[in-house]
Amino acid sequence: MTDLNSAPAGKEHRSPIEVDELHKLVMQSLDDDQAVEVISIPLAGKSSIADHMVIASGRSSRQVASMAGKLADKIKQASGKVVRIEGLPVADWVLIDADDVIVHLFRPEVRSFYNLERMWAFGDEARPPSAATGG
């Protein structure tokens, strides 16, 4: 019988994923799943809750739930850490707390109503790319 507490350091869990790697993984996963209007708000030095807040929309509750499940699986696979998820199975607004990166996934109507971008934006940095380029 193996005692997990006696395993060599670093063997019982995967090494922690770096914040930038985690952020990149989140952004790539959302891109792979065809999330729309994906924005990332840098929070490092502005809030202690996380280093990044990512906000994205899915076209339906089903897509939002699917994106959330896939993202949680990818984070677990990369870091060995189980993320906290709120808002399933309804999936109008799903929050994924991956510690250093907080992800909000919305149906478009719900996202418009809560308008988190406006609440959390600090200047122009949270603007979607299309608004920043005028197109």
Query: Rounded to whole angstroms, how far apart are CA atoms 78 and 48?
Result: 23
34: left (phi over 0), alpha (psi -120 to 50) or beta: left
For 76-98, how does the pLDDT look when each residue is reduced to its tens digit (9 = 90+)? Answer: 999 888 999 999 999 999 999 99
What's the CA gap between 53 and 92, in Å, rounded?
Answer: 18
Q: What is the four-CA torsion angle of 32, 96, 17, 1, rounded to 10 degrees?
A: -110
C-alpha 24/C-alpha 30 separation (Å) is: 10
For the entire predicted model, the pTM comes to: 0.78
Cα 108–chain centre separation? 17
Over the stretch 20-55, which tens digit does the pLDDT of each residue have? 999 999 999 999 999 999 999 999 888 889 999 999
